[in-house]
Structure 1
């Protein structure tokens, strides 16, 4: 039986948690529940602060009229997310890895850039939402609220170390808080059930109603969720035969349907809340989240606005975690580049904080609403670059084998993509016209040419899989393919470096080094003095620590000489990593033996990761001894 291609555990998407949830040992409802989780992480993207802005504007201006737009958006999202899950389950690849495998190398660079920009735009919406929520609940100034969001990095680091199930539990609890908050608010505002039901009836839209409807669709179907879902389904371990794959697809569809219907409930609740609280009271121009909170307080007292702020904070916090995971998937998939999750989270967060920070400083708090809408426009630009490849990949019978999507699903998917892309293009064109009306030269010099280039790239992404007949053999994993190993000859090292710090670890480090070279090798004992004096004065430093460390190195050398080993001592000064690398290069070492202390997590952030940094900067083998 031909099995669809897959990645190994170590090289799979989100390798830290790849196949970390075993479903094979569970039966009945427990087996179904073991697949539940990935879609809940995805669903938070459908109820982030960017959605709140469009839902509030739609409800306050047009009452219940646009509920059917929310329903249509949710059905399209359900279709696309189920395709994303299918890709991850069947091929064992996330959408970014599949794009790298399916398109020329040069295309993946702009695809990564666009996806990363979308993630930053999404993160921007979450920063603004979080800051507004803290301001509404505790009166914290927006500038301080935005600054505090940088500490989300620590939360993510903690959750990643706790494992996938703990992270999913955190996200589900945040979603639960949002859902319960709005459920209680529904009882407070008492909306008309008859008018809600009428809102599900499709109507012709024009003018501002059409514009807001486009905004709702653009804010609902988010590109990074397609990358995220195709990766998260791979955290489940199941039998990779036809029966196991069919079962995984079915259970993940159930997971997706439940999670996205919950997201639809939240979005509909926001729109209904705006319709019942503002539209019915003649307040048709409520588009800002802060205004909505203020008016809720005026009309319904303190409970409704407090719940509103709590839900906003929960939505921003949960979206932050999933945005980080999406960023990791996009970088590893498109570029084969893997960095520490906390570092890429920090970079993404800083890139999102800077525009929010300067918007407040230059234009004041009132400009954040406009920045929130801009973030949704940026998301709209990227959507086609995720949707079109996804449909191509899941339609490919050569790679999907018997799990390629059926013709009727393909028609629905392409129809949905045409609707999404065309409406989002209309939204972008309208925004460019608005900016151009203000007379900004940058619109015609920078934005219009950039939009044309992006449009041409989108056309290429659509056409290439249809016309390309070249069978490219590309690695689908970040590490490449296994090589044939020939007969192994013993390597004789003549110059071996040993880093020492005069701790109890030195004995073990030196012992392992001596085993590698025997009595024929020359051993170079390396120690770095990190005192302030040593940093500034280098080899002219004569402070107590430098003298003491030199004496200790001499003792090691004499001790080795008595045992019949040749040794040379080296003292480095200042930065540990740079000093070790410099000594290694200057002494033409062939092997470097280092002791590892075994600290991790926050200790790495405080104490640094010398071994890892040195390993990346030298070109010789490094033996790490614990």
Structure 2
């Protein structure tokens, strides 16, 4: 293993070289657009990083938690999705700002400014979170391949691994091809659920009641934490800062502020789309299954069968295609994030094939031994929720420091709101633990 050059400008060569874009891959035209173009054309030219990050917000784990939530509790947990999406907008804006302001990504800054034991602790938990992330992505894509083509789950998981490498390999041609591919997958997911929403319809009045915060027992709390973990993803908190570092070099603080404004547009559009997709998942499940045997629709396979039976084959195919697109795209983004984490926290890299083998092993074991895949997906999202504070707290601590962020340091209000978000997530996780040990009841 070798240490990369400072500033995340490489991964040691070989197979790793295709994993992250280097400054040499940046196009001078991007900076020209930044300084000479205005309006919609300029914004469209600079869109991309947030769309890569947002694919993690609509990965197969979201399918599992949203379908489970909608079928069992109706519209009850819509408020959780709305809150999680607003949190995601704030968090991803802060993460992207790190890359723009410092030319470093979040793990690199943690290595530079935190004690070594803290850095290594953050790295270890991030690797465990990567395994939980891969579990959701591989299992989800495998289920989709099984539903569409009747491929057994284990071979379908291996096919997903090949697809992830192929998509990630587009970065060797420049980051724009990778970003365009991810946007294409996002479009498939969006169109799939738009079709199903229009086909099924829903009661808007009843859905509106779901935006009033409340729970219905401990199981609803478990699902709420799972939804939060599926929506606010720890690995893309790290990744987004790497996507923006040196993507378009800025010569001074004024240009950094311009880039930051473009980034806010990017994040707003991408996260709004992700939020609409997530809400449509829950709304569709609530409309179809809640109160009509919804307690029995506790797996993605049963949801697919319900689509086919209650709506028609076309709705079932749209659902499965959206799931497949989510699995393929999010697995490649997960691999990308894993390299950022290792390179940043401990200044080391390993070949992508080895990293992928290690992190996907739990998912393949789940597929091989026949564990209920949807239950595994939901649990993986709860695990992810426990990882959020370990990414979010360093983000808040670093972005509030002027010696780190310079002119783009957080305003006190931004730091306060981000601290509240971190506290809310942490409290939910503590409540879940207390409930699991019978110390509190909901």
Task: Normalising by structure 2, report the TM-score.
Answer: 0.90
1:578-618 CA-partner distances (Å, limit 9, x unpaired): xxxxxxxxxxxxxxxxxxxxxxxxxxxxxxxxxxxxxxxxx
Tell me which residue corresponds to 1:338: 349
1:356 corresponds to which residue? Answer: 363
What does residue 60 of structure 2 align with? 49
Q: Distance in 2 between matches of 1:68 and 1:369?
A: 23
Shift of 1:245: 0.8
**1:218 and 1:420 in contact (8 A); partners too:** no
CA distance in 2, matches of 1:387, 1:269: 27
1:524-582 deviation digits (Å, cap 9, x = unpaired): xxxxxxxxxxxxxxxxxxxxxxxxxxxxxxxxxxxxxxxxxxxxxxxxxxxxxxxxxxx
1:58 and 2:69 correspond: yes
8 Å CA contact 1:70, 1:216 repeated in 2: yes
Shift of 1:174: 0.1
Greater shift after overlay, 230-239 or 349-358? 349-358
Q: Which residue of 1 aligns with 2:22?
A: 16
Residues of 2 paired with 1:96 and 1:311: CA distance? 32
Kindly state the Cα deviation for residue 8 of structure 1 after the two structures are TM-superposed: 8.2
Specify the alignment match of 2:15 in structure 1.
none
* Equivalence map 1:217-232=2 (5 Å): 217-232=228-243
List per-residue Cα deviations over 1:354-376 (Å, max 9, x = no partner). 333333444x2x52223222322
Equivalent residues in 2 for 1:170-185 (5 A)? Answer: 170-185=181-196
Contact kept, 8 Å, 2:131 with 2:360, in 1: the verdict is no
User: Is 1:148 aligned to residue 159 of structure 2?
Assistant: yes
Q: Give the equivalent residue in structure 1 for 2:211.
A: 200
What secondary structure sits across from 1:236 in the alignment?
coil
Within-5 A mapping of 1:82-481: 82-156=93-167, 158-203=169-214, 206-339=217-350, 343-344=351-352, 346-362=353-369, 364=370, 367-430=372-435, 433=437
Gaps of 5+ in 1: 1-5, 435-626
CA deviations over 1:263-320 (Å, ceiling 9, x no partner): 0011001101100110152423422111111111111121111111100000011101
Q: 1:391 offset after TM fit, Å?
A: 0.2
Partner Cα separation in structure 2 for residue 203 and residue 111 of structure 1: 33
Using the alignment, how far apart are the partners of 1:201 and 1:192 within structure 2?
16
Question: 2-side partners of 1:360 and 1:200: how far apart?
Answer: 36
Q: C-alpha displacement at 1:57, in angstroms?
A: 1.0
Whether the 8 Å contact between 1:185 and 1:307 is mirrored in structure 2 is: yes
Offset of 1:116 from its aligned partner?
1.4
* Aligned-partner Cα distance in 1 for 2:66–2:8: 42
Pairing of 1:551-562 with structure 2 (within 5 A):
none
C-alpha distance in 2 between matches for 1:369 and 1:44:
19
Change (3 A) 1:178 1:128: same
Larger radius of gyration: 1
> In the aligned structure 2, how far is the partner of 1:139 from the partner of 1:127?
16
- Does the 8 Å contact 1:377/1:427 carry over to 2? no
Q: Contact conserved, 1:9 with 1:19, CA < 8 A, in 2?
A: no
The answer to whether the 8 A contact 2:106-2:241 is kept is yes
Bigger relative contact order, structure 1 or 2 (CA pairs below 8 A, ≥6 apart): 2
- 1:14-43 superposed Cα distances (whole Å, 9 cap, x missing partner): 453577144221202332223210000000
Q: 2:392 and 2:48 mapped to 1: Cα distance?
A: 23
User: What displacement does 1:399 show?
Assistant: 2.1
Determine if contact 1:19/1:237 at 8 Å carries over to the other structure: no
Q: Aligned in 2, Cα 1:236/1:353: closer, same or farther, shift over 3 Å?
A: closer
Distance 2:250 2:367 in 1: 53
Q: Which has the higher strand share?
A: 1
C-alpha spacing 1:238/1:357, structure 2 compared with 1 (3 Å): closer
Taking the TM superposition and a 5 Å limit, the aligned residue runs for 1:567-582 are none
Structure with higher helix content: 2
2: distance between equivalents of 1:16 and 1:403? 23
Does residue 45 of structure 2 align to residue 39 of structure 1?
Answer: no
Residues 533-548 of structure 1 aligned to structure 2 (within 5 Å): none
Structure 1 CA distance for aligned equivalents of residues 102 and 303 of structure 2 = 45
